[in-house]
Structure 1
Amino acid sequence: MNNKYLIVGLGNPNNKFKYTRHNIGKLIVNKLIFNNKNINFKNLYGIIYKRYYYNTKLLFLLSNFYMNEIGISIKYFLNKYNLKIKNLIIICDDIYIKFGKIKLKLKGGSGGHNGLKSIENTFNTNNYIRIKIGIGNNFKYGNQNKYVLEKINNNDLNVLYNKIYFLVYNKIINII
C-alpha cells in the first residue's frame, strides 16, 4: 500500500442539518461511499468507510462531532490510522464561491468557516488539502448563519449529486 488518505466531508451530525448548505461536504462523502457496506471502524468519534483506488486506501470519515469541534474527531482518526495532515482531504462548503463551482486549496485561512477553524485550532496549521464547494452568498448582512443552515432546494440538490459530485470525485483522484 503506497498511500492512505482520510477524506472528511464537513457537516453536522444531527438529521435536522442533513440537507443544509453547511452539510454539503458530508452529503458528497455520503454519495462517495454510497453502496459501500464496508464499515472499517465505528465509535463515538465517527464512522470510517474504506475504499481502494489502485494502490491507495481511501478512508472516508462521517464524523459524529459538530462543525465547531470536528478537529477533535479528525485528529483521533489521523492518529488511529497513523496519517499525517498532508494525507487529509477536507470537503466543505464555501460562501465565497458561486454555487455549482468548486475550488481546490492546498492551504489557506478558514474564511470564517467554523469547521475549518476547528481543524486549524486542533492542528495549529492551515496547511492541508481542502476541496471547497460553492454555496453562494445570497443573504443579507448578518444572516449568514441562517443561510448556511437552510435546506438545499431540490434543483440545487440535483446539481450537487449530478455535477458537483463528479467534479469533487475527479479532484480527489487527481490529488491521490
Structure 2
Amino acid sequence: MKYLIVGLGNIGDEYRKTRHNIGFMVLDAFAKASNIVFADGRYGATSNLSVKGRQLILLKPSTYMNLSGNAVRYWMQKENIPLENVLIIVDDLSLPFGTLRLKGKGSDAGHNGLKHIAATLGTQNYARLKFGIGNEFPKGGQIDFVLGHFDEKDMETMDERLQLAGEIVKSFCLAGIDITMNQYNKR
C-alpha cells in the first residue's frame, strides 16, 4: 500500500521555519527521525519510507502554497495513490499553537493551499492534519503573522509537537483515519 504525505509550505530561505511552513517542518522532523533525506524532483522534494509494509512518499511541494494542488495531483497520478491514502499537513489559524487535529474532509477555511488542492482534485474529501499556529495577531496582521517565525514560547514545545505529528502520520497509514482521529484528536 502506498501513501502520499504532503507537508504544505513555501520554498525559499525567507519562508524557512515560518508558521505557514509547518507542513515542511513536520516532514523534515519525520524524515530526520527516520534517517531519510529529501531529494529534489518534479513539483517538489520527496523522500520514501517503508513502515510495516506500507510505502510512504513524503512530499514538500515546490509549487508555492497557492499552487499546491499541482504537486499533489502529479504525485498521486505518478505513484497511483488513491485519494483515501493522501494526507495533507497544513497550518491552522483557528487552533491554538501546537494543537493537532486530523480530519477526513472539510472546507479550506480560507487556506490557499487547501483551496487549490480542492480545486485541482475536484473534491474537499481528502484527509488533512491541521497543526495549530494560533491567532495572536492584531487586526489586519494575519499575513505578517502567518509568514512570521514562531516565538520562543512556541519553540519550547515545538520538538514534542513535531514528534506527535509524526506519530499521527504513522497511525494514519497503519491504523486508518478513524482510529487515528479517535486516539489523537482528544490530546
Runs of 4+ with deviation above 6 angstroms: none
Query: 1:70-96: CA deviations, max 9, x gaps?
Result: 110111111100111111111111000
Match among 41, 44, 48 for residue 43 of structure 1: 41
Deviation at 1:170, TM superposition (A): 2.0
Unmatched 5+ residue regions in structure 1? none
- Tell me how far 1:169 sits from its aligned partner: 1.7
**Over residues 4-63 of structure 1, what are the superposed CA-to-partner deviations in whole Å (9 max), with x where a residue is unaligned?**
111011100111101110001111101111231474xx4241122001110101100121
Computed over aligned residues only, the root mean square deviation of the Cα atoms, in angstroms, reads 1.4
Partner of 2:168: 171
Partner of 1:110: 108
| Paired AA for residue 107 in structure 1 | K
Query: Mind listing any 5+ residue stretches in structure 2 that lack a counterpart?
Result: 174-187
Match of 2:185 in 1: none
Per the alignment, do residues 30 and 107 of structure 1 end up closer, same or farther by CA in structure 2, a change over 3 Å counting? same
Partner Cα separation in structure 2 for residue 55 and residue 38 of structure 1: 20
What displacement does 1:138 show? 0.5
1:64-83 residue pairs with structure 2 within 5 A?
64-83=62-81
* TM-fit CA distance, 1:142: 2.0
Superposed counterparts of 1:16-165, under 5 Å: 16-34=14-32, 35-37=35-37, 39=39, 42-161=40-159, 163-165=160-162
Question: TM-score, normalized by length of structure 2?
Answer: 0.86
Residue 161 of structure 2 aligns to which amino acid in structure 1?
I
Give the distance between the partners of 1:91 and 1:107, measured in 2 at CA.
Answer: 13
**How many Å separate the matches in 1 of 2:86 and 2:152?**
30
SS of aligned partner of 2:58: strand
Matched residues, number:
171
**8 Å contact 2:29–2:163 — kept in the other structure?**
no
CA distance in 2, matches of 1:103, 1:146: 24
TM-aligned CA distance change 1:66 to 1:175, over 3 Å: same
Q: Structure 2 CA distance, aligned partners of 1:153 and 1:38?
A: 27
Displacement after TM superposition at 1:173 (Å)? 2.3
Which structure's residues are more often helix, by fraction? 2
Question: Offset of 1:159 from its aligned partner?
Answer: 1.6
CA contact (8 A) 2:97 2:132 kept: yes
